[in-house]
Structure formats: C-alpha cells, structure tokens
Amino acid sequence: MDAPGHKDAAVLVPLYREPLTAVFTERRADLSRHAGEISFPGGRQDHPDEDLRSTALREAEEEIGLDPAGVELVGALPPVGTFVTGYRIFPFVGLVEPGQTWRAQASEVAEVLEFTLRDLIRGHEMQRLVRRGVPIKTPTYTVDGHLVWGATARILGELLERLG
C-alpha cells in the first residue's frame, strides 16, 4: 500500500485490553516539527534498509520506554501521509501489558497519554481547523481537553473501523 509523502516513517499503535486503551505521546511544544501534537510513538528509519516494524518498535522504546520484547505485533494499518512535512507513515498495531511505567524521552515527549477507545469514540467529530493559515476539515478526537487530529486521527479512524 502507498500514501503520499517522500520520507518513510513508522509508528507503533500500542494497545492494551480491559478496557481497550491506546497509548499516545504529546510532543513538546518547542519542537520544530509537529510541536505540541498528539501522536503515536514513532519516527523515521535510521537507515533506508531498516524494516519499518523495527523502526516502530525502536522509536517506541526511545520515546516512551516500551521494551520491544513486551510488544505483540498483531497487524498493520494502511499508511498515511503528512501534508506539510511529507512523511509517509506506516502504522503497526501492538498489544502491550497494562500498568506500564512510561519513561518519556525528555527531548521530544512532553507527556505519555492513555485514552480508552470508548472515550476516543465519544470525543470524535469532524472539525474545521486552521493550520499555518490554511483551513482544513479533518476528523478529530478530543479526550480531557487533548485534541487528536491530522495523521494520528486518520490512523485512529482506520483502527476503529477495523475493530468495529
């Protein structure tokens, strides 16, 4: 599968059961790219031959301290593109045990967030946002004042659609 973008990246969609919950990062507000946005842990490949599943697991370990050995990869979602930064993001879904002690990477992550899928569904709406002076209509998910939008919201929408 393909998506717009010219730089490959991968994210891990960490999920745990009871209740079904997704783990996100809130990026630091002072970053040059995607500042303050909520995303799944992930990033670019270290080298062009790096397997994208490995990229997702490595980045999750770096960003939130998630041991790759504790992740059961259960599938992948269609890749999505970022319009402004030109990334083609490949999402991988992994089951993790609840009760993790997250270690946020201080240079990149402001906070690790856990939202139940039920709360995300309740907070779903189509919104018109203005980003860099450009109005966009996009799916959003709001939980406890935290706004999930953009590529992360599109990935989340695919996940929710598949889970039914």
Check residue 22 and give its pLDDT. Answer: 98
The alpha carbon torsion through 150, 151, 157, 163 (nearest 10 deg) reads -150
Of how many residues is the chain composed? 164
How far is Cα of residue 8 from the mean position of the Cα atoms in its chain?
14
Check residue 2 and give its pLDDT. Answer: 56
Q: What is the mean pLDDT of residues 33-40?
A: 84
Asked if residue 57 has pLDDT above 60, the reply is yes
Asked if residue 39 has pLDDT above 80, the reply is yes
Q: What is the mean pLDDT of residues 130-154?
A: 89
Distances (CA, A) of 47 to 7, 43, 86, 161: 11, 12, 17, 32
Helix/strand number for the chain, H first, E second: 3, 11
The alpha carbon torsion through 3, 32, 59, 7 (nearest 10 deg) reads 30
Question: What's the mean pLDDT when you consider all of the chain?
Answer: 91
Could you give the percent of the chain with pLDDT greater than 90? Answer: 72
Q: What is the mean pLDDT of residues 73-79?
A: 96
Check residue 120 and give its pLDDT. Answer: 98
Residue with more model confidence, 27 or 136: 27
Q: What is the mean pLDDT of residues 72-91?
A: 89
Residue with more model confidence, 105 or 130: 105
Residue 69 zone, left/alpha/beta (φ > 0; ψ -120 to 50; rest): alpha
Q: Which two tokens stand for residue 68?
A: 């790759």
Asked if residue 13 has pLDDT above 90, the reply is yes
Asked if residue 52 has pLDDT above 60, the reply is yes
Asked if residue 62 has pLDDT above 60, the reply is yes
Task: Read off the pLDDT band of 1 (50, 70, 90).
Answer: low
Task: Read off the pLDDT band of 18 (50, 70, 90).
Answer: confident
Domain 7-116 CATH (choose: 3.90.79.10, 3.40.50.360, 3.20.20.10, 3.40.140.10): 3.90.79.10
Check residue 51 and give its pLDDT. Answer: 95
What's the rounded Cα separation, in Å, for the pair 15 and 108? Answer: 21
